[in-house]
Amino acid sequence: MLLARLALCAGLALASMSVLASYDPVRKGAGESRAKLNAMERKPFDFGLLSKLSDWKNGAAPTAQALDGKVVLIVTYSDWYKPAARGLSIARKALEAYGKDGLIVIAAHNPEGWKDAAKPAGPAGATMLLAHDEKGELRKALLSAQDPNFYLVDRAGQLRFADVANESVEDAIKALIAEKRDEAATLNEREAAEKLAKAREEAKTASINQDAELLKNLPELPFPAPSEKDYKDAKWPELPKRQNRSEEAEPEKRLTLPQAGWVPQQPLTTGRAILMYFWHPAWNATFEQMQPYADLLQRQFQRDVVVIGALTNLERLGEQGDTQNLTDAEKAKRNLTADSAMQRINEFRSVRKYEHTMVSDLSGSLLQQATSDRTIPLPYVAIASSDGVIRWWGFAGATEAKGALDRILDVDPGIKARRKVEADYIKTIKKSGAADKK
C-alpha cells in the first residue's frame, strides 16, 4: 500500500459493469440483410407473430403475458436436414442448463417435413414448445433465410439479439439470464445516458489535456511571496507522533536541498510542495512500489508538487541488515560510491522511463533533516510545504501520508499564490487564442 489507493481499481470495476461493455454475441448475415436485422434489435418483440405458428406441441401457444420476465429463445429448424436439425439440439442443451432460471424455447419447424418430424418432449421442469411455421410467415418476419437461426428475447420482451451465430447462442443466453427485468427494460436509456456521459467526459478530458499542455509549457511566472504569518496561520496537517510517544513537540524541520548530484537537474521548487522518498538500489522495499507511484504523482500534480527520489545510504542511517553472509558483489552493490550512485540513478530513470527527479545523497543529510530515528519503516517519505518546512514524515503507506499531502496542497499559501498567477496567465492565453480564431 502506498500513499493512496488510486481510483484505477474502482474505474475497472465500473467498466466491467458498463452497459456499453455488456455481452455482444457473434451474429450471422452481412450487408443490407444484417443491417435490417440490427434495426430490429432492442425493440419490443411482436409476440403476435407466434399466432402464425400452428400445431403446437409440448404446450399451448404462449401469450405475451406468460412470457413476460422470461428469456425466450426462438429457433427455426428443419428435422429432415441434419445441419438444420442441430438447431433443436443446441436449444435443448441450453434449456437443460438455464430452464430453471427462466429460459423458454420456442422451436419453429420449417414449412416442409413437419408431419414426419420427430417431436421430442422438453427436459423435465423446462418449457420447450414446438410448432409448425406452415406458411413460413414467422421466418419471413424474422428475415430468417436458412435454418437453423436463433433469436433471443430478453426479460423485458425486447428482441435483443437477432440471428445469433450457433457458437454464441449459449453465451448470449447466459448474459440475458443474468439480467433482471428492470435492467433489460432500461437498457436503451442507460446506454444512451452512458454514451452522453462518455462524450462529456471525453470533452472534459480534452479540455484537461489542453490545460495540462499549457501547464507543462508555462514559463516561471513571478508572484507575490506569502508572508511568514501566512505560513504560520495555515492549517497544516497534524505532525506524526514520535516513536518514543513523547508529548514533547518536535522542533521545526527544514528541508535544505543540495546543489549537486541531481538527475536530470535540480528542480524548481518555488511555490511548490516537495515530496521526497528515500531509496537504495539494494533494498527493494525502498523503490519497487514507491518509484512507479512517485512517478505517477509527479505527472498527476505537475507544477504543484516536486517529487524527489533521494538515493540514500540506508545502512549508515539506521536500516539494519545482516551483512556477514553477503558476497563481495552484493556488498559492492550496497556500498555505493559517488560515481556508482549516479550510474544507478541514471539506470533506473532510463530503463524504467521515470520522469521525476532523483538526487544522490550518500551522506544521508536529507534523511537526517527528516528524522533522527535510527530505524525507519520502508518506504519512507518526507513532505515539505513551499517554504521548505517539513510538514509530515514517515511510512509512505500510512493513511496519514496522503491526507498530509492533500492538506498541504489545499492550504499552502505559496502554492495558492503561484496557482493564481498561472491561472490568470492561462486565461489570457486562451482569450488570445480565441481572438486569433475569429
Residue in 221, 276, 238 with CA at minimum distance from that of residue 254: 276
Give first-to-last CA distance, the chain, whole Å.
Answer: 51
Instruction: Supply φ then ψ for residue 181, to 5 degrees.
Output: -60, -45
The vertex-16 CA angle with 10 and 21, nearest 5°, equals 135
Please give the grid coordinates belonging to residue 401: 501520508
Do the strands 390-395 and 305-312 form a parallel or antiparallel pair, or are they unpaired?
unpaired
Domain CATH number, residue 162: 3.40.30.10
Domain-embedded: residue 15: no
Lay out the sheet containing 380-384: strands in order across.
262-263, 357-361, 305-312, 273-279, 380-384, 390-395
Parent domain of 246: 220-320+331-437
> Do 311 and 241 fall into the same domain?
yes
In this predicted structure, what is the pLDDT of residue 51?
95
Q: What is the pLDDT of residue 199?
A: 76
Same-domain pairing of 270 and 402? yes
Q: Are residues 278 and 371 in the same domain?
A: yes
255 and 353 part of one domain:
yes
- The confidence score (pLDDT) of residue 320 equals 44
The residue type found at 284 is: N
Residue 2 belongs to some domain of the structure: no
Identify whether the C-beta of residue 138 lies closer than 8 Å to the C-beta of residue 106. Answer: no
Query: Does any domain span residue 418?
Result: yes
Residue 205 counted as domain residue: no
Alpha carbons 304 and 306: distance in angstroms, whole number: 7
Shared domain check, 304 and 182: no
Omega prior to 379 cis, within 30 of 0: yes
pLDDT at res. 211 = 57
Residues 258 and 157 in one domain: no
For residues 291 and 367, membership in a common domain is answered with yes
pLDDT beneath 50: ranges in the chain: 1-21, 208-209, 317-323
The whole-number pLDDT of residue 245 equals 52
Instruction: Quote the CA–CA distance of 400 and 394 in Å, as a whole number.
Output: 9
Q: At what angle do helices 413-437 and 399-411 cross, to 10 degrees?
A: 60
Q: Are residues 410 and 269 located together in one domain of the fold? A: yes
pTM: predicted TM-score of the whole model, two decimal places? 0.52
**Total domains present in the chain:** 2
Same domain, 175 and 257: no
369 in Cβ contact with 253 (< 8 Å): yes
Q: Would 10 be classed as within a structural domain?
A: no
Convert the pLDDT of each residue in 400-411 to its tens digit: 999 999 999 999
- What SS3 class is residue 183? helix
Looking at the fold, whether 144 and 234 belong to one and the same domain comes out as: no
Q: Are residues 406 and 291 in the same domain?
A: yes
The DSSP annotation for 191-253 comes to HHHHHHHHHHHHHHHHHHHHHHHHHHT------PPPPHHHHHHS-PPPPPPPTT---SPPPP-
CA distance 272 to 307: 10
Kindly state whether residue 369 falls inside one of the protein's structural domains. yes
Cell of 218: 508555462
Domain assignment of residue 276, yes or no: yes
71 inside domain: yes
Q: Do residues 171 and 289 both lie within one domain?
A: no
Q: Would you state the pLDDT for residue 218?
A: 83
